[in-house]
Amino acid sequence: MKKQFAVIGLGGFGEAVAVELMRLGHEVLGVDSDPDKANHLADKLTQTVIANATDEDALAELDLHRFDAVLVAIGAHIEASILCTMMVKSQEAKEVWVKAITPTHHKIVEKLGADRVLHPEYEMGLRVAQSLAHPNMLDY
Ligand code: ATP
């Protein structure tokens, strides 16, 4: 069944998730404050919006409660990630996943109610180690 997702932050990680969700047949709204990032994906996602995800009014216009899940993929700007997560939660989004880059960042967004906290580089590192150690096992 077709689902609706919102990806906030279209860096390398957010872009990969958003484009793969489209490939899997879902609808994806991409949001980034950098016009270059949003414009670059304009033809590849269902909709892209240039917006500062720490701006309460801008975020409110996105009606995030209508999505099956919202991914906050702002990493390096920890303060922006925390503020955004807080506001996404207050919009009562059904499922909120957040990329974190430090243990403190992880703890804060978890406390704010993130349903899942991701550490893409660490998690990928574990998978690569497993693939190197067991090259014949299927990776998907
Ligand atoms: P990645 O590791 O995914 O490539 P990055 O480390 O290059 O990410 P981040 O700082 O994690 O960059 O930001 C990811 C994306 O989030 C960038 O495209 C950036 O423009 C966007 N971004 C940062 N702050 C905001 C914000 N306040 N509102 C919307 N988008 C933002």
Burial 82-120 (b: 16+ CB within 10 A, else e): bbbbebbbebebeebbbbbbeeebbebbeebebeebbbb
77, 82, 105, 109: residue to mutate for ligand 1 pocket, most atoms within 8 A of CB: 77
Q: What is the ipTM of this complex?
A: 0.94
* Interatomic CA distance for residues 80 and 111, integer angstroms: 16
For residue 74 and ligand 1, the question of a CB distance below 6 A is answered with yes
From ligand 1's centre to the CA of 56, what distance in Å?
17
Residue 138 has pLDDT above 90, yes or no: no
Question: What pLDDT, on a 0 to 100 scale, did the predictor assign at position 46?
Answer: 98
Question: What pLDDT, on a 0 to 100 scale, did the predictor assign at position 139?
Answer: 60
Contacts of 33 (CB under 8 A, 6+ apart): 50, 51, 52, 53
Q: What is the pTM of this model?
A: 0.94
Question: What pLDDT, on a 0 to 100 scale, did the predictor assign at position 136?
Answer: 80
pLDDT in tens, 63-119: 999 999 999 999 889 999 999 999 999 998 999 999 999 999 999 999 999 999 999
Residue 140 has pLDDT above 70, yes or no: no
For residue 40 and ligand 1, the question of a CB distance below 6 A is answered with no
Residue 137 has pLDDT above 80, yes or no: no
pLDDT in tens, 23-72: 999 999 999 999 999 999 999 999 999 999 999 999 999 999 999 999 99
